[in-house]
Amino acid sequence: MINLLILILILFSINVQAETLNLKKSIELALKNNLLIQEKLAQIKAATESVKVAKSEFFPKFQTSYSYTRLGEEPYMIAKNVPGQPKFVMGPQDNYTWDIGFIQPIFTGFYLSSQYRLSKLGVDISKLEKIEAEQEVIRQVKVSYFKVLLAEKYKKVAEIAVKNLSAHLKDAKALYDIGIIPLNDLLKSKVALANAKQDLVRADNNLQTAISAFNILLRFDINHPTKIEDILTYKPLNLTLNEAMKIAIKERPEIKQIAKRLEQMDVQIKMAKSAYYPQIAMIGKYERIGDDPGIDGTGYRNPDQFYLTLEAKWTFWEWGKTRAKIKSLIWRKKALEKILEQLKDQIKLQVKQAYLNLKEAEKNIETARISVEQAKENYRLTDLQYKNQITTST
């Protein structure tokens, strides 16, 4: 039974290692495992809880308390108009109090509604930050994926070079042995093969490094023998430069984030202006007193009482504090607007650079295809000429 389990584990390990990833699957794995995206998900949840906190401020707050107070002596009243000015006890020396009450805000100068709006904008910003992180991860995966493919191609070229130069050296030895070519030509062939082998080692190292970087993005073990599918098809981009710029300005999450932050600044200004208004609240409290822990009354006044208060508070002078705070927020908003303008310029430049690089690469595809065919033919002719002693190893 144990041997069977070991065999199953070995076979499963082989299947995992042998799995070949395509670009779509690679992106899915990276998005699932990336730590930055997991961080952004946690921030979204935190921002969502902040909305609940802000919403709770609209509702009444309930509280209760229990206290004990011992006076130095029983409170009394002196009857000055009565002969002898007798003292009349007004309450007990030991006082126990229990109360339960609530505070319901009625008007806060739009502070609470603004605070709630601010928290909801915080959720929107957190979601946009997650989208930005996802787009960055997708970009990194695509770049790393094609770096692996490119490294594989360079290694393949190096392998072909070693194979061809090995065959060339074999021909050179045969020609040298029968005295057709000088020793110098043979040595040149040996040096060329040695250099090609060094290039192959270097190409293999570059491939392993590219795979390791790709593994890190996918949260695999750095030495995992990852295999990826080649991509041989190409779809031309059917967008003009202006169209690409418009899409970027409209859809880039960085721009949307700053737009939301500008909304937040407007809300914060409104919150600061709430200090100009009075704060109105309703306060209710039920209180019970006694001269023992059971709070059954004192015998001097009614043992319980209910209060209902409508309270208005207005801080009407703070030496320009509110006005200065509002101005500070206005200036911060203006600074954020300038940051938005700079970001749009940077994005336009990024799009233009990427667009021009893409168009250059498109033109190079056909040029490279022709160059490959020409190189194959040149190698065939050169090899044939060498064998017929029309040319040398140089």
Q: What are 306-344's pLDDT values in tens digits?
A: 999 999 999 999 999 999 999 999 999 999 999 999 999
- State the DSSP code for 276: G
CA distance 275 to 313: 11
Confidence of residue 4 (pLDDT cuts 50, 70, 90): very low
What is the number of domains present in the chain?
A: 1
Calculate mean pLDDT across residues 265-274.
97
Window from 115-129, 166-180, 208-222 with minimum mean pLDDT: 166-180
Distances (CA, A) of 97 to 75, 219, 304: 16, 62, 10
pLDDT band (50, 70, 90) for residue 167? confident
162 near 76, Cβ under 8 Å?
Answer: no
Average pLDDT of the residues of the chain = 88
Give residues with Cβ within 8 angstroms of 280, minimum separation 6. Answer: 105, 106, 107, 108, 310, 311, 312
pLDDT on residue 385: 61
Q: What is the pLDDT of residue 130?
A: 97
365 is a domain residue: yes
Q: Determine contact, residues 326/267, Cβ cutoff 8 Å.
A: no
CA distances from 148 to 145, 223, 224, 232 (A): 5, 14, 14, 14
Over range 159-171, report the average pLDDT. Answer: 89
When pLDDT is cut at 50, 70 and 90, the band that residue 363 belongs to is confident
Adjacent-strand bridge partners of 76? 89
Q: Which helix (H) or strand (E) holds 21?
A: strand 20-21
Give residues with Cβ within 8 angstroms of 27, minimum separation 6. Answer: 137, 138, 141, 142
pLDDT score at 242 = 95
In a domain, 151, yes or no: no
For residue 372, pLDDT over 70 is answered with: no
Is residue 239 in some structural domain? Answer: yes
Which residue, chain included where needed, has tokens 């192959």? 200
Domain contains 89: no
Asked if residue 77 belongs to a domain, the reply is no
Residue 85 pLDDT:
63
Distance (Å, whole) CA 105 – CA 277: 13
Category of 269 on φ-ψ map: left (φ > 0), alpha (ψ -120 to 50) or beta: alpha
Q: Specify if 370 maps to a domain.
A: yes
State the residue range of the domain holding 380. Answer: 234-278+319-394
**Two structure tokens written together for 212:** 């390791």
Model confidence at 156, pLDDT cuts 50, 70, 90, reads: very high
338-350 per-position pLDDT tens digit = 999 999 999 999 9
User: Given pLDDT bands bounded at 50, 70 and 90, which one contains residue 194?
Assistant: very high
- The pLDDT of residue 302: 87
The pLDDT of residue 12 is: 43
Residue located via tokens 């921002």: 47
Q: What's the gap between Cα 284 and its chain centre?
A: 46
Using N-to-C axis directions, what is the helix angle for 321-387 and 253-273, rounded to 10°? Answer: 170
How do residues 92-137 score in pLDDT, each as one tens digit?
889 999 999 999 999 999 999 999 999 999 999 999 999 999 999 9
Q: How far is the CA of 55 from the CAs of 49, 50, 130, in angstroms?
A: 10, 9, 24
Considering the domain boundaries, does residue 204 fall inside one? Answer: no
Window from 8-17, 43-52, 84-93, 231-240 with minimum mean pLDDT: 8-17
